[in-house]
Chains A and B, each alone.
Chain A
Amino acid sequence: MPSPAYLLKRVDFIFKDEKDWKEILKNSINRPAHELINELISSELKGRGGAGFPTGLKWKLTAEVDDSIKYVICNADEGEPGTFKDREILSKVPLKVLTSMAVCGHVIGSKEGYIYLRGEYFFLQPELNKSIREFKDYCNEINFDFTIRIFMGSGAYICGEETALFESMEGKRGEPRNKPPFPSTYGYMGKPTVINNVETLAHCYTIFEYGSKRFYDLGVQYSRGSKLFSVSGDTPKPGIYELELGMSLVDFVDEFGDGDTKAVQVGGASGFLVPRKGFRETTIGFQGKLTGISLPTGGSMMLFNSSRSMYNVLDNYLEFFREESCGQCTPCRVGCQQLLNGIKAVKRGEKNALYLNKLMRLTETMQYTAKCGLGQSVANSFSAIVENFREEMIY
């Protein structure tokens, strides 16, 4: 029986065993750089950290820069609330990530790679180091010069932002830089740098193993391939699932909801909140022409049922942002504080309900003027919650 188009499609690429890594590494580094880049470009793989920049293009841009020192960085500063897939990749199939980093080194002309591992995942270090040593031994054996090291973070959400991550690795406060210049020309230590999310690198491995077509055939236009989803909140089956991109949110809720789902937070606190009435028209993937409402996510899917107060949810998000704002730009630093104070004042009855409109205008200002994605994205969940659950905000 052909499966109806609306069903969720489970995929099993990421956690498929990594036993052929030596062969894949050896074959890949014997292929010319442009061929590998074209393979990635035709797969249409987009960054899996959430922002969705085309991976092949990122490698291409960095490869084209002429510099004797370049870096490959794996962003394992997984801090978005509701995301926990990268840890699973690094503990189950670390060699896939290391292999892709080395292939990237071959493509762009880099001999040094770093894994920026968040401080909360310190316990992963011993096992990961073991894999790194095993990997290095093989590189030596085949005379391939590439060294990977771990750089530990120390508990700062903002360091997942790529330029803040570079600052942090350079021994400074994790404050995002202005862009441009972009990492492809000016990254870690001012050198051309490819920085990819853990999952993106794991997908690259799949593409090197099976070719771009296997990957491209999954998903929908603009959103090719599969993606890991971290499912949590009010669900009978929390966990990590690899699904094809382009699914409808209503199907997702049918599969993972508890029958009483009131809203889904797609993409973590900095992502998008979809109330029940929007489930049917929302798909999960990257926005493109003609896609309708399509929401990108780094994988975080949090479900809320009707027992949850959306005021409490927003209060929790804002406290998170207030604490994690790096503080360098005023719209974000003061904005997050004022939004939190503001909703508390409305809840206590010290400000009337119209004050919520003023706060909405503040989030708009932040969207335009904040320096990085943190301050810019606060508006997403703020406006969705205030617009759709206004009563809960006031009473």
Chain B
Amino acid sequence: MYPVTELIKNLADRHGRERRNLLPILQGVVEQEKYLSEYSMIEIARELDLPASEVYGTATFYSFLEYKKMGKYIIRICKTITCSMKGKNQIIKTIEDMLKINVGETTPDGNFSLLQTNCLGFCHKAPAMLINYEVYTDLTPEKVREILTNYINKKGREE
């Protein structure tokens, strides 16, 4: 883990400082920080010599570039038609009950955020979700409880 200013500098060194390198840099910050703070966006603008509004405008266009503080694990439930038909509401209810948060919220310990997202491309194995970059398919309430329990235990072991 680098402090964010150093991270941004490293990313710019690696990818370049042209406008076309903006997305990989934004992605790199989100990978470590889980979101783009106002401070990071201003720093990126400074590093690439761009107006901060351009960086903000670009970052907020993309649904995976969060600009609000997110948990360590971001759960994204697919809500598009097939997943919706195959019971994604039950999955969301299960997670909400387990983590005691609603869609759009983060657990008070900062470990989990729960979001909905558009088609993940696993319609033949619906319902599907992402936890960070990990995909889980053919979900049932039981299966989701098991997956989340594993994450919670993993989190416990790390601490």
Interface residues in chain A, defined as those with a beta carbon under 8 Å from any beta carbon in chain B: 78-84, 87, 118-123, 151-157, 168-174, 189, 230-234, 238-240, 265, 269, 300, 302, 304, 308, 312-313, 316-317, 320, 323-324, 326
Check A171 against B19 for contact (C-beta < 8 Å): yes
User: A123-B134, A232-B82 are known contacts. Are A152 and B121 too (CB-CB below 8 A)?
Assistant: no
Interface flag for B5 (CB, 8 Å): no
Check B80 against A316 for contact (C-beta < 8 Å): yes
Given A172-B19, A324-B118, 15 new contacts (CB under 8 A): A79-B118, A79-B121, A81-B80, A82-B81, A82-B82, A84-B121, A121-B121, A152-B27, A155-B118, A168-B23, A169-B20, A171-B21, A232-B82, A234-B85, A323-B118
| Residue from B20, B26, B27, B135 with most neighbouring chain A CB atoms (10 Å) | B20
Check A87 against B20 for contact (C-beta < 8 Å): no
How far is the CB of A222 from the nearest CB of chain B, in Å?
Answer: 28
User: A80-B119, A169-B20, A233-B123 are known contacts. Are A313 and B62 too (CB-CB below 8 A)?
Assistant: no
Can you give 27 contacting A-B residue pairs, CB < 8 Å?
A81-B81, A82-B81, A82-B82, A83-B121, A84-B122, A87-B121, A120-B121, A123-B133, A153-B62, A154-B27, A154-B64, A154-B65, A155-B118, A156-B62, A169-B23, A170-B20, A171-B19, A171-B20, A173-B57, A232-B126, A234-B85, A269-B80, A302-B82, A312-B84, A316-B79, A316-B80, A320-B119
Give the contacting residue for B23; candidates A152, A239, A324; CB below 8 A.
A152
Closest to B124 in A: A238
Query: 1/0 contact trace for B118-139 toward A, CB 8 Å?
Result: 1111111110001001110000
User: A152-B24, A173-B57, A326-B61 are known contacts. Are A316 and B84 too (CB-CB below 8 A)?
Assistant: yes
User: A121-B121, A123-B133, A238-B125 are known contacts. Are A171 and B81 too (CB-CB below 8 A)?
Assistant: no
Check B84 against A230 for contact (C-beta < 8 Å): no
User: A79-B119, A123-B134 are known contacts. Are A154 and B82 too (CB-CB below 8 A)?
Assistant: no
Distance, CA A201 to CA B148, complexed state (A): 39
A232 neighbours in B (Cβ, 8 Å): 82, 123-124, 126
| Residue from B26, B27, B84, B85 with most neighbouring chain A CB atoms (10 Å) | B85
Check A155 against B63 for contact (C-beta < 8 Å): yes
Interface flag for B117 (CB, 8 Å): yes
Closest to A235 in B: B124
Distance, CA A155 to CA B130, complexed state (A): 12
B90 neighbours in A (Cβ, 8 Å): none
How far is the CB of B88 from the nearest CB of chain A, in Å?
Answer: 11
| Residue from B57, B81, B82 with most neighbouring chain A CB atoms (10 Å) | B81
Interface flag for B95 (CB, 8 Å): no
Distance, CA A171 to CA B55, complexed state (A): 9
Interface flag for B58 (CB, 8 Å): yes
Distance, CA A240 to CA B120, complexed state (A): 15
The 8 closest A-B pairs by CB, nearest first: A171-B22, A155-B64, A232-B123, A238-B124, A154-B62, A155-B63, A173-B61, A154-B64
How far is the CB of A310 from the nearest CB of chain B, in Å?
Answer: 11
User: A154-B64, A302-B81 are known contacts. Are A81 and B119 too (CB-CB below 8 A)?
Assistant: yes
How far is the CB of A59 from the nearest CB of chain B, in Å?
Answer: 24
Give the contacting residue for B124; candidates A80, A151, A153, A240; CB below 8 A.
A240
User: A172-B19, A189-B20 are known contacts. Are A231 and B65 too (CB-CB below 8 A)?
Assistant: no
User: A152-B24, A316-B84 are known contacts. Are A84 and B124 too (CB-CB below 8 A)?
Assistant: yes
Distance, CA A170 to CA B58, complexed state (A): 11
